[in-house]
């Protein structure tokens, strides 16, 4: 028994790497991989799922673009800077994966995750990987079951006609009588080094992992974007339960709650406008036990008396900060015994960047300067004073709801867990 135990201890543990291919020269949508989807860079959705799955020894983004590299590192990935030879329009995924494997000899299994699949969840990756680590498969790829009748266009005697491919038109089956077909959904591909070096992504002892249709989202062209955004808000993975503990929102008045404009006349006082939707958003947060503090700084040209009116209107504390915004915000947190992960911050300019970076959740209006947009974790579709605060409030409450549901269920619909009775993933050996 002792020699067997020793051999087991000395066995080389496989290095399993996640690899997201993110070339900068996308033709369908410019810089698609880092375009904001529901307030998160597209690539951020899959990076969050990969990292939170805790299944990978390393998580990589292969890119040729500086901005994509910056976003990738911000979201916790390592970067493989791909060569010009595998950065062309004609380059296939296998070429880029082979270059990565050649430069990273320590990697035994590569999981190529598509950046354009934002509804990927950690459990999808965990359960698919177990087919390799526990059942001995060499390649596993994700599929979705479709019930589509397919026809082929053929030319007969100079005329274009059609013929059925997967049905007999005289005996069209009902949906419930037909198992449908398995189609690659492009979400991920697990492959061993041996197969990659042989020029294969799918091969050897091969299996598929079935994902439910609601999680099978792919983005190729602009028209896919709004559909994907609605789908990801409902079925996307929003992270672990840390977002559920947001206790406090600090919101800038000028440039967030107001549009930052101050009409001035010779005969009358300065005026600002406040959007009723934003006020209602603040009230909604307070009803869900998220405290809200409205803040201003020395740089803000707020009319006198506005602070008191806003305080009465929103039932919120209004605080004026001096030059050290981060230090004063930290003092507010300390007085309430809060950590940064429990704080949401909404700002709009360079003086807010440090707080936007540190806060567990942060946002800026869509018309904020680039420096603030890059620092925020959520970029609103709405402009300052035109519903941006309400939008961020909705986002905070959605994340709290999602995180709470994920904690309670501890499973993904359509996957089999010990405390879940829904349909398990289907696994099949492909000949």
Q: Which of 402, 378, 114 is nearest to 235 (CA)?
A: 402
In our burial notation (b when 16+ CB lie closer than 10 A, e otherwise), range 207-222 reads bbbbbbeebbbbbeee
pLDDT at 194: 96
Dihedral pair phi/psi, residue 83, rounded to 5°? -80, 160
Alpha helices by DSSP H, 198-298: 224-235, 276-287
> Which pLDDT band holds residue 225 (cuts at 50, 70, 90)?
confident
Residues 212 and 68 both lie in one domain: yes
Q: Is the pLDDT of residue 430 over 60?
A: no
pLDDT in tens, 53-103: 999 999 999 999 999 999 999 899 999 999 999 888 888 999 999 999 999
Residues 198 and 226 both lie in one domain: yes
Q: Is the pLDDT of residue 325 over 50?
A: yes
Q: Is the pLDDT of residue 417 over 60?
A: no
Residues 254 and 375 both lie in one domain: yes
Q: Looking at the domain assignment, is residue 418 inside a domain? A: no
Q: Looking at the domain assignment, is residue 174 inside a domain? A: no
Q: Which of 110, 297, 131 is nearest to 206 (CA)?
A: 131
Place of tokens 């996640």: 18
Beta strand ranges found along 127-233 (DSSP E) = 139-146, 151-156, 159-164, 181-192, 206-210
pLDDT at 404: 66
Query: Among 237, 253, 276, where does a domain finish?
Result: 237
pLDDT in tens, 128-187: 999 999 999 999 999 999 999 999 999 888 888 899 998 888 989 888 888 899 999 999
Q: Looking at the domain assignment, is residue 200 inside a domain? A: yes
Which residues are known catalytic residues?
172
- What average pLDDT does range 316-327 have in this prediction? 86
Residues 247 and 213 both lie in one domain: no
Q: CA–CA separation, 329 vs 248, rounded Å? A: 11
Count the neighbouring beta carbons within 10 Å of the beta carbon of residue 334. Answer: 10
Q: Looking at the domain assignment, is residue 127 inside a domain? A: yes
Q: Which of 319, 314, 384 is nearest to 349 (CA)?
A: 384
Residues 194 and 328 both lie in one domain: no
Query: Among 237, 254, 270, where does a domain finish?
Result: 237
Output the pTM of the full model.
0.68
- What average pLDDT does range 114-132 have in this prediction? 95
Residues 275 and 360 both lie in one domain: yes
Q: Is the pLDDT of residue 268 over 80?
A: no
Residue numbers of the domain that contains 210 = 13-147+179-237
Q: Which of 49-53, 267-271, 286-290, 383-387 is the least confident region?
A: 267-271
C-alpha torsion angle, residues 298, 299, 303, 304 (rounded to 10): 10
The enclosing domain of 62 has a CATH number of: 3.90.550.10
> Which pLDDT band holds residue 114 (cuts at 50, 70, 90)?
very high
Q: How many domains does one find in the chain?
A: 2
Strand partners, 37: 40
Run of H or E including 101: helix 93-103
Q: Looking at the domain assignment, is residue 222 inside a domain? A: yes
Most confident region among 13-27, 131-145, 342-356, 388-402 by mean pLDDT: 131-145
Q: CA–CA separation, 51 vs 2, rounded Å? A: 36
Kindly list the distances between the CA atom of residue 164 and the CA atoms of 119, 135, 156, 161, 341, in Å, as whole numbers in the listed order: 33, 37, 15, 10, 56
Mean pLDDT over all residues of the chain? 84
Helix axes 388-409, 276-287, angle to 10 degrees: 30
Residues 233 and 245 both lie in one domain: no
Most confident region among 71-85, 155-169, 297-311, 317-331 by mean pLDDT: 71-85
Q: Looking at the domain assignment, is residue 155 inside a domain? A: no
Residues 94 and 222 both lie in one domain: yes
Residues 210 and 247 both lie in one domain: no
What the block records as the tokens of 257 is 């709650």
Residues 269 and 217 both lie in one domain: no
Q: Looking at the domain assignment, is residue 156 inside a domain? A: no
Count the neighbouring beta carbons within 10 Å of the beta carbon of residue 234. Answer: 10
Alpha helices by DSSP H, 105-223: 122-133, 193-197
CA 109 to chain centre: 24
Whether the CB-CB separation of 338 and 240 falls below 8 Å is answered with: no
> Which pLDDT band holds residue 198 (cuts at 50, 70, 90)?
very high
Query: Among 211, 237, 263, where does a domain finish?
Result: 237
Residues 57 and 200 both lie in one domain: yes
Count the neighbouring beta carbons within 10 Å of the beta carbon of residue 187. Answer: 29
Q: Looking at the domain assignment, is residue 423 inside a domain? A: no
The enclosing domain of 377 has a CATH number of: 3.40.50.1000
Run of H or E including 41: strand 40-41
Whether the CB-CB separation of 405 and 421 falls below 8 Å is answered with: no
Place of tokens 């420096």: 371
Residues 291 and 313 both lie in one domain: yes
């Amino acid at each position: 028994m002792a020699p067997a135990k020793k051999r087991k201890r000395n066995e080389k543990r496989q290095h399993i790497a996640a690899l997201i291919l993110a070339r900068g020269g996308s033709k369908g949508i410019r810089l698609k991989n880092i375009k904001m989807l529901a307030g998160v860079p597209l690539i951020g959705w899959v990076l969050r799922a990969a990292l939170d799955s805790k299944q990978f020894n390393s998580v990589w983004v292969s890119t040729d673009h500086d901005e994509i590299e910056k976003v990738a590192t911000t979201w916790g990935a390592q970067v493989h800077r791909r060569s010009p030879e595998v950065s062309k329009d004609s380059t296939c995924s296998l070429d880029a994966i082979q270059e990565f494997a050649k430069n990273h000899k320590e990697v035994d299994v590569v999981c190529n995750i598509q950046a354009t699949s934002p509804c990927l969840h950690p459990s999808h990756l965990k359960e698919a990987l177990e087919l390799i680590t526990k059942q001995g498969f060499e390649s596993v790829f994700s599929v979705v079951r479709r019930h589509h009748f397919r026809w082929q266009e053929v030319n007969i005697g100079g005329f274009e006609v059609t013929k059925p491919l997967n049905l007999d038109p005289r005996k069209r089956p009902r949906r419930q009588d037909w198992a449908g077909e398995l189609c690659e959904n492009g979400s991920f591909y697990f492959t061993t080094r041996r197969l990659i070096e042989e020029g294969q992504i799918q091969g050897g002892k091969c299996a598929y992992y079935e994902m439910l249709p609601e999680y099978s989202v792919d983005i190729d062209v602009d028209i896919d974007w709004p559909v994907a955004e609605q789908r990801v808000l409902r079925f996307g993975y929003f992270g672990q339960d840390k977002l559920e503990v947001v206790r406090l929102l600090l919101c800038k008045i000028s440039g967030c709650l107001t549009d930052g404009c101050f009409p001035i006349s010779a005969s009358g006082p300065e005026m600002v406008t406040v959007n009723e939707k934003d006020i209602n958003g603040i009230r909604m947060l307070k009803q869900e036990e998220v405290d809200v503090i409205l803040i201003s700084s020395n740089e803000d040209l707020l009319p006198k008396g506005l602070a008191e009116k806003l305080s009465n209107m929103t039932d919120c504390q209004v605080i004026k900060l001096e030059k050290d915004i981060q230090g004063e915000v930290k003092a507010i947190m300390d007085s309430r015994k809060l950590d940064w992960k429990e704080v949401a911050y909404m700002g709009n300019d360079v003086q807010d960047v440090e707080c936007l970076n540190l806060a567990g959740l942060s946002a800026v209006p869509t018309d904020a300067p680039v420096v603030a947009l890059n620092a925020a974790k959520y970029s609103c579709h709405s402009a300052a004073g035109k519903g941006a605060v309400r939008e961020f409030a909705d986002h905070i409450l959605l994340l709290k709801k999602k995180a709470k549901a994920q904690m309670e269920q501890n499973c993904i619909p359509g996957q089999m867990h010990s405390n879940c009775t829904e349909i398990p993933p289907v696994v099949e050996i492909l000949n």
